Amino acid sequence: MEASDAAIIGAGPSGLYLARELSRIMNVVVFEEDKELGLPLHCTGLVNADSLKVLSISPPIINSYRYVRVTDLEGNSITFDFKRNAVAMLNRPGLENYLADELGSASLALGKRVLDVQGNTVRTKTGETTYDLVIIAEGSSISLTKNLIPWKPTYVYGVQTDAKSYASNALMPRDINEIVVVFDRRLSNHFFAWIVPRDNHELRIGIADDANTWVKFVELLRITGVEHYNPFGGKVIISGSPDNVVTGSVAVIGDAAGFVKPTTGGGIIMGMLSAKLLAESIYSVVREGLRISDALSVYNMVFRKFIKNKVRALGGASSILHLMVNSSLGEVMHHMNTVNVEIYDYDNHIDAVLRAAMRRPLAFAKAMFSLIGELSLVEPNRINELIRELLG
């Protein structure tokens, strides 16, 4: 196959990871509306450290964590012990800059907003260009995606701050390697709050919910005694993905396609995995001498057959969890106060809660049990196998 051209819209982790992969076989340009990569900040940056190895990347890490303490405001808590520092806080502009340094022959058009995508033609303020392939990686705004693919996702809004000055109280992390997750409906009805040490002196504290997040954020700061702040945040899609992630010559990846774990809002790794899945689909069809449009069909089919329902199942698990928060999770936590549980995958909060909950009470465990097998959305080591299976 001759070298063809691809336009990627959005230089977040998903778009940049894809550019890095595709630049080996295609001419790639990445459009980014902001003038600087990774800014303005919106994300906490927490990922499962092992996932970075799977993706063969080593971006800058701010801190790493062994413990996650899930607590309510009364101090009833469950501490999850990973037995090693398995969770990492990435430096978000650092991740984007790291990926940009690995772009190879791909070019980056900073400060260039894409206004419109029609077929495989991309329009910016300075003109229109047609590509063999257009990939939308615009993040959770979905301004371009919503004109191309029918989908009305639901969101929570997250607000957070880095803080140097705070009161020492029971809610605060007990150590530099402990993350605190606060599940309490007096703070957040449908999501949770988080307190994450950046180092010995600074922490990142935030909250997400579907309404009035700012008011709840101010309350969180009051409770924790955080004094100075410079808040940042954004939208987190929690309702899963659209039915299709491809239309014509356009594919959608990352947040823009709902590759986000509805339980945690985690989309950094999921977004890069969606990019890896698309890149592997393209390599596979190129090897077979097929057309790019066939690669897009493979990407969409793998998504529909192996991923979409898992995102839905996780969305269901998330709803159940938050229902429990509204009714009896406080009681569950009270029963399990001081129980320590060993877990291995930070991305699976629900799995962790389940492991704890399975000790008692039974009702909680039963409600969640059927979902336990559905928790890993994209199994990175199986991507090639899944594609082969589809290509027959």
Ligand X SMILES: Cc1cc2nc3c(=O)[nH]c(=O)nc-3n(C[C@H](O)[C@H](O)[C@H](O)COP(=O)(O)OP(=O)(O)OC[C@H]3O[C@@H](n4cnc5c(N)ncnc54)[C@H](O)[C@@H]3O)c2cc1C
Q: Which candidate, 44, 354, 321, places its Cα nearest to that of 188?
A: 321
Q: Which is nearer to ligand X, 35 or 222 (CB)?
A: 35
Q: Which residues bind ligand X (CB under 6 A)?
A: 9-15, 31-34, 42-47, 113-114, 137-139, 141, 144, 158, 160, 206, 233-236, 254-255, 260, 265-269, 271
Amino acid (one-letter) located at 26: M
Which has the closest alpha carbon to 63: 87, 96, 93? Answer: 87
State which residue, 46 or 246, has the beta carbon closest to ligand X: 46
**Residue with Cβ nearer ligand X (17 or 364):** 17
List CB contacts of 127: < 8 A, sequence separation 6 or more. none
Centre a 10 Å sphere on the Cβ of residue 201 and count the other Cβ atoms it contains.
10
Q: Which is nearer to ligand X, 92 or 322 (CB)?
A: 92
Closest CA to 363 of 338, 333, 332, 339: 332
Indicate the residue among 25 and 109 with the shorter CB distance to ligand X: 109
Q: Specify the residue, 16 or 285, whose C-beta has the smaller distance to ligand X.
A: 16
Give the helix/strand (H/E) hosting 25: none
How many distinct helices (H) and strands (E) make up the chain? 12, 20
CB nearer ligand X, residue 244 or residue 264: 264
β-bridge mates for residue 155, sequence order: 237
What number of other Cβ atoms are within 10 A of residue 249's Cβ? 19
Shortest distance (Å) from residue 377 CB to ligand X: 12
- Provide the minimum distance between the beta carbon of 30 and ligand X in the complex, in angstroms, as a whole number: 9
CA distance 55 to 277: 11
User: Under a CB-based contact definition with an 8 Å cutoff, are residues 83 and 345 in contact?
Assistant: no
Q: Which residue has the tokens 């550019």?
A: 19
E-strand ranges in the chain read 5-9, 27-32, 46-48, 61-65, 67-71, 77-81, 87-90, 107-110, 114-118, 121-124, 127-130, 133-136, 155-163, 178-182, 193-197, 203-209, 232-237, 246-247, 250-252, 340-342
Min dist CB 391 to ligand X, Å, is 26
Q: Which H, E and C letters describe 6-24, residue by residue? A: EEEECCCHHHHHHHHHHCC
94 vs 361, which CB is nearer to ligand X? 94
Q: Which two tokens stand for residue 243?
A: 């039915």
C-beta of 137 vs 246, nearer to ligand X: 137
